[in-house]
Each structure stands twice: as structure tokens, then as C-alpha cells.
Structure 1
Amino acid sequence: MTFEHEGSIATTASPAAIWRLWSDTGTWAQWDPPVERVVLDGPFRIGTTGTLTLAGGIEAPFELTVVRAEERYVDRLTLGELVIDIDHRVEAHGDGALVTVHTTIEGPGADQIGPMVTADAPVALAALVAMAEAPAPVA
């Protein structure tokens, strides 16, 4: 079984501002509601693995399968027989950027778990964009 979901949002933030938040896994819990903690086992590049701790203490191992600075990254989570690929893309658009997240879930029960996994996706996109658009703190 396969489940797919995609959402996009336009922002006045630059692709570089979006990328800074994406590539700093320490920010993920600030803009992605189900994420409580992220541990990355190395630099933000293809092949690096880590662990996401999700709401309720669920730990999900993941791997970065695509990384193109200021353009795209894909993280692959493996939960038992389910494989979840989350493709994050950003491109210049007008005076800012267009941010798109495409989620593909494969495995038994994908159709049932998919809507739960992607339920907070619009909230996460909006929070990411709000953080990227916020003025930089004064030092």
C-alpha cells in the first residue's frame, strides 16, 4: 500500500532562510508539532542517520537520502514495515520562496496511518515559514 500527501506554501523568506531551519535539526521541534527531539549522528548530508523522538515518546530512526543545499532534502523514516519518505523542497518564487513537502508512506496500513502522519503538515509548514520570516534577533 502507498499513501501520498503534498502541501506547499509561499513565503517572503529566502530559500537560504528556509534551508537554515531545515539543516539545523535543533530547530525541528520548534516548527514541527509532533517532533519532540532530533539526534543527528553526523553532518547534514546524504547518508547521515539519526533518531526522531515524536510525541508520545515514539522513536523513529531516519536517514537523509537526498541533500541539496538550499534546494531539497529527503528524510526516510523506518517504522517496522512502514517506510516514510518526506521530501522537502524550496525554490525561489517571486520575492521569496515556495516551500513544498511531499510525504510518501509505503507498507501495510499506509492508507490508515498516512492521514495521521500528515495531519500536522500544514501547521508545520506555516510555523516554518513564520520562523523564517521573523526578523533576526539583535545581538
Structure 2
Amino acid sequence: MADDILANIKRFCERYAPSDHSQPSSESEHEKSAPLTYSLYGDNLYLEYKEETTMWDYQYQATTTATPARIYQLWADVNTWPQWNADLIRAELHGPFAAYSQIHMTSAQGTLELRLADVQENQRFVDEVEMEGVLIRTTHQLNILPDGRTQVTYQMQITGEGADQLGPEIGPMITSDFPDTVAALIRSAEH
């Protein structure tokens, strides 16, 4: 049923999406318009039109014997993130650990305000921040493997007009601690 709903939404958006974001487009105008990007995170549907989608992407994965519920418990307790994330001095959650809430993370480099875009209990959460013409989206995903272990995935995507330049500049700096952070998260979850 969800696939049918998404297919209908996509057909509607492709037919009626404005090519200049202000006026309805005809089919001939639409053929020249920006592609539709849509994603469904839980109950949230995101629709975007971009002239050019440039992206920088990085993913790190590790496995653990800890359950998804245990790892999710550590994620949801934002104020304790500095206990297992060595780069953080302080982390504060403003609102529930749910979509649309804010997280303020303070490190030696300063404070960063993240927006929770999607939260699915015991499965994943997605945070976002916009800066310098790019959207930085980090997905934290949990999957149960056939052997019963949990796969922990941290994936960062940087999109937007400046992603082709800024992505390679800031992406590696931001993600360089993913292996250490995930390892510390796993150690905390296994004890």
C-alpha cells in the first residue's frame, strides 16, 4: 500500500510541479524542469526540486553484539553523548528525541545546531544542518544481520549548489571521527 501511495504522489508531483517554483508547468515545460527528489522517512515525506543535484557521500559501518534497542537508547539520551563521543564537550536535546526537535552539540570548534529530520525507534535517526549553501544530512542506521549481530551505519550526504566544492573540503573533516565514534558507541552499548 505504501508503494502505491508513493507512486501516486510521484505521478502527481511530476505532472504538477512548477519548473520555476512559482507557476504551474505544462508537460513540455516539465520535461525541461528540475528532477523530483522524494524520500520517505517514517511518516515524513520530503519533496525537492533541484536544477543540479551535486552530492558528497560517505558511509561507515561496524557490527556489534549489542541489540538495536541498546544502541538506540544511547542515541536517544543525547545529553550523555559526550560520554562516548570524545569530540563533544556538551550535547543538548531541545524537545523529545523525535523529528523536528533540535540538538545543540558543542565541541572545541564551537556549537552546531542540528535538526532531527527523522527518528524511528530502534532503527535510525537522521539529523540535518544547513550551512554555506549546502545541506548536511547524517543517517544513523541499525540493521539486524542474519547472524543476529547489529550493523551500525553512519552515512553523511552533503547536497546543494556548493556540495561539489564544499563536500570534499568539509566532508572528510566531519566524518574523520566516524570510526572512533562508532567504536566508542559500540563499547558503551556492549557494557
What range describes the TM-score normalised by the shorter chain of this pair? 0.7 to 0.9
Aligned amino acid, residue 4 of structure 1: D
1:90 counterpart SS class: strand
| Aligned counterpart in structure 2 of residue 45 of structure 1, from 98, 120, 128 | 98
Aligned amino acid, residue 53 of structure 1: T
| 2:167 match | 110
Q: 1:46 to 1:37 in 2, by over 3 A?
A: same
| 1:8 match | 61
Distance in 1 between residues matched to 2:137 and 2:150, nearest whole Å: 22
| 2:46 match | none
| 1:137 match | none
Indicate if the aligned counterparts of 1:2 and 1:111 stay in contact, CA closer than 8 A: no
| 1:30 match | 83
How many residues end up aligned between the 2 structures?
A: 133
Q: 1:4, CA displacement in angstroms?
A: 1.0
Q: 1:80 to 1:52 in 2, by over 3 A?
A: farther
| 1:123 match | 180
Distance in 2 between residues matched to 1:34 and 1:82, nearest whole Å: 23
Q: 1:80, CA displacement in angstroms?
A: 3.7
Indicate if the aligned counterparts of 2:79 and 2:93 stay in contact, CA closer than 8 A: no
Indicate if the aligned counterparts of 1:105 and 1:114 stay in contact, CA closer than 8 A: yes
Q: 1:36 to 1:80 in 2, by over 3 A?
A: farther
| 2:151 match | 98
Moved more, 20-29 or 72-81: 72-81
Indicate if the aligned counterparts of 1:15 and 1:96 stay in contact, CA closer than 8 A: no
Q: Which has the larger radius of gyration?
A: 2
Q: What residue ranges of structure 1 are gaps of 5+ in the alignment?
A: 135-139
Aligned amino acid, residue 70 of structure 1: N
Distance in 2 between residues matched to 1:68 and 1:7, nearest whole Å: 20
Alignment of 1:52-71 (within 5 A): 52-56=105-109, 58-71=110-123
Distance in 1 between residues matched to 2:131 and 2:77, nearest whole Å: 23
Q: 1:3, CA displacement in angstroms?
A: 1.6
Q: 1:82 to 1:29 in 2, by over 3 A?
A: farther
Greater RCO structure (CA 8 Å; 6+ sep): 1
Indicate if the aligned counterparts of 1:85 and 1:103 stay in contact, CA closer than 8 A: yes
Identity of aligned residues (%): 32
Q: 1:59, CA displacement in angstroms?
A: 1.4
Q: 1:82, CA displacement in angstroms?
A: 3.4
Q: 1:81 to 1:32 in 2, by over 3 A?
A: farther
Segments ≥4 residues shifted beyond 4 Å: none
Q: What residue ranges of structure 2 are gaps of 5+ in the alignment?
A: 1-53
TM-score (norm 1): 0.88
CA RMSD, Structure 1 to Structure 2 (Å) = 1.5
